[in-house]
Structure 1
Amino acid sequence: MTTAAAKQTRGYTDIGGHQTWFADAGGTRDPLLILHGGLSDSELLLDRLGPSLGERFRVLAFDRRGHGRTADTDAAFHYDDMAAEAIAVIDKLVGGPANLVGWSDGGNAALLVALRRPDLVRALVLIGANYHFNGNMPTEPGGSGAQALRDRYAARSPDGGEHFATFLAKSQTMWTSEPTLTTNDLRKVSTPTLVVAGDDDLLTLAHTTSLYESLPLGQLAVIPGASHAVVLEKPDLVTRFISDFLSAPGTPKTLLPIRRKANA
């Protein structure tokens, strides 16, 4: 079906033998694939980032296995599998390279896509992403965000709200043991990458800085007055950063370069 307001095709397609919910604006603009966060769904980001980004890009998104409108399976969650899903979506719906914008778990998966299939990634935006599980803050966040995600899950999941406890447990198991990339792995990323984080994120600022500094073509934006939910709290600012970066994703020319001095 096509929604008149967003002019997107929304429905299901087979990805790796699993019926997977997706959205695709279609058209000839540069493709941009949005990868949602953990315990989340694509529509949460499409509603906030889609209208602005859709003015310049062919915006696509999909709900990973067990998330949003895509049913779960008995298998555990792994970032490698999430990256494989994203690769399959790009191959099937785009058929060539795309810009990837990933939030949280979606950012972690996007980073793996860039390492596995750099030919499929034009530019990379990692929002609240981590390359190793030791980058997580040791304390649980406050606020009402967790309950809101639980309610969204119950309203959308084909598995029903009662499956949320299993869904959460599978996610938590992954978060405490993955990802396990190293800074040496990050130095192999050849894709221009924008790293975005809130100044009160779930990830330590030291870890976010390490991610940025280890990427050969990395840029960094720490947004003040924002948490891990920065895409929901300040969507206009986030989309402005994304659009500015994607308009010229290579090595920026600055007046007083330090890290980029060799490229000046």
Structure 2
Amino acid sequence: MPRYVEIDGHPTWVDDRGGPGTPLLLLHGGLSNSDELLNSIGAGLAERYRVVAFDRRGHGYTADTDADFHYADMADETVRVLEQVVGGPAHLVGWSDGGIVALLVALQRPDLVRRLVVIGANYHFDGFMTVEIDPESSLVQALGKAYIERSPDGPEHLEVAFSKSFRMFGAEPTLTTADIAQIARPVLVVVGDDDLVALTHTVSLYEALPEGQLAVVPGASHALPLEQPDVLTGLILNFLAAVESPHTLVPVRRARLGTN
């Protein structure tokens, strides 16, 4: 049920869909909102998990402030939602910026994290490929329309929010593989085979994780949750249902790590 919750004194839009199992927190992408994940993979996940989502400050139905966007602040926001709304540890499923936030939360508060799924996420800003984005393209127009339809700040704030986002994209995050190696929770790294995150960067993320698994989805882009929601939902459900580390017939990487 959607409602507003005071998170560090700021009214924050939260949707707790309920569900029969362990809490699962959906973390939306940048320039986006929770509806995109709730409407694409949310229903399938809610069959087995208590699905919760929230719009970060300056996104979706949550108003902005004068402060710039920083991933560290977004991670703090997420920690508060886990504490105040979820009421404890949860699986984190994050797309793009949401995946970055999930990684930061796992480093900052591992006690609040069960398993993580990060979709099209980069741990350093140099892993995000620079592409020319036409402001008149259907994608940009759709993002702008979705923002205007939801934002309490009104259509005039769209340019401000986009400007804050792109400044952040160009300078954050700045994690290293040594940082990533400190994440002890199981993590499923998912990416489209034509993603905005460089495939070599995604592989380095996966290889740095002590309990990582990797899925490269063919015929998919950075918009994987919208393009192939059923495939993505299946991958997530299978990963979250596992009760132990994978046991394979010909372990190589996992044999070296001692997890097979």
What TM-score, normalized to structure 2?
0.96
**1:49 matched to which residue of 2?**
41
In structure 2, the CA distance between the partners of 1:135 and 1:249, relative to structure 1 (3 Å rule), is farther
Once residues 105 and 7 of structure 2 are traced to their aligned partners in structure 1, the CA distance between those partners, rounded to angstroms, is 16
Q: Does 1:108 align with 2:108?
A: no
Residue of structure 1 in register with 2:82 after alignment: 90
Following TM superposition, by how much is the alpha carbon of 1:91 offset from its aligned partner in structure 2, in angstroms?
0.1
The answer to whether the 8 A contact 1:141-1:202 is kept is no
C-alpha displacement of 1:249: 5.8
Structure 2 CA distance, aligned partners of 1:68 and 1:203?
23
How far does residue 50 in structure 1 lie from its aligned partner after superposition?
1.0
Q: Secondary structure at the match of 1:170?
A: helix
- Structure 1's 214 and 172: CA in aligned 2 closer, same or farther, altered over 3 A? same
Shift of 1:162: 1.6
Aligned to 2:115: 123
**Is 1:66 the counterpart of 2:79 in the alignment?**
no
Q: Which SS does the other structure have where 1:260 is aligned?
A: helix
Alpha-carbon distance in structure 2 between the residues aligned to 1:197 and 1:152: 24
Q: 2:14 aligns with which of 11, 16, 22?
A: 22
CA contact (8 A) 1:123 1:249 kept: no
Which residue is 2:238 aligned to?
A: 244
Which residue of 206, 209, 218 maps to 1:212? 206
- The residue type paired with residue 176 of structure 1 is G
CA distance in 2, matches of 1:249, 1:39: 35
How big is the shift at 1:140? 2.8
Q: Are residue 168 (structure 1) and residue 162 (structure 2) matched?
A: yes
Q: Could you tell me which amino acid in structure 2 is paired with residue 151 of structure 1?
A: K
Partner of 1:184 in structure 2?
178
Alpha-carbon deviations, 1:149-177, whole Å to 9, x = none?
11100111001122111101000010000
Change (3 A) 1:27 1:196: closer
- Unaligned ranges ≥5, structure 2: none
1:253 partnered with 2:247: yes
TM score, norm. by length of structure 1: 0.94
Give the secondary structure class of the aligned counterpart of 2:245. Answer: coil
Among candidates 133, 147, 156, match of residue 125 of structure 2 = 133
The 1:249/1:180 distance shift into structure 2, 3 A limit, reads farther
Secondary structure in structure 1 of the residue aligned to 2:226: helix
Alignment partners' CA distance in 2, 1:40 and 1:250: 34
Cα pair 2:2 2:13 within 8 Å, conserved: yes
Letter of the aligned partner of 1:232 in structure 2? L
Instruction: Give the total of aligned pairs.
Output: 256
Give the deviation of 1:263 after TM superposition. 2.6
* Worse overlay, 144-153 or 181-190: 144-153
The secondary structure found in structure 2 opposite 1:138 is coil
Give 1:43 shift: 1.0
Percent of counterpart pairs with the same letter?
Answer: 59
Structure 1 portions without partners, runs of 5+: 1-8
The Cα offsets for residues 73-130 of structure 1, whole Å up to 9 and x where unpaired, read as 0000000000000000000012211000000001101100000000000000000101
Structure 2 CA distance for partners of 1:165 and 1:188, relative to 1, 3 Å: same
Query: Conserved in 2, the CA contact under 8 Å of 1:37 and 1:103?
Result: yes
Output the aligned Cα RMSD. 1.1
Please say which of residues 24-33 and 129-138 is displaced more in the overlay. 24-33
Q: Find out whether 1:197 has 2:177 as its counterpart.
A: no
Q: CA deviation at 1:145?
A: 1.7
The residue number in structure 2 matching 1:263 is 259
CA shift digits 1:186-213 (9 cap, x unpaired)? 1100110000111111110000000000
Instruction: For 1:179 and 1:139, locate their aligned partners in 2 and report how far apart those are by CA, in whole Å.
Output: 18
In structure 2, relative to structure 1, the CA distance for the partners of 1:263 and 1:232 (3 Å cut) is same
- In 2: Cα distance, 1:28 partner to 1:201 partner: 33
Q: State the alpha-carbon separation in 1 of the partners of residues 83 and 243 from structure 2.
A: 22
Name the SS of the counterpart of 1:75 in structure 2. Answer: coil
Distance 2:71 2:152 in 1: 22
Displacement over 4 Å in runs of 4+: none
- Determine the C-alpha separation between the residues in 2 that align with 1:263 and 1:99: 21
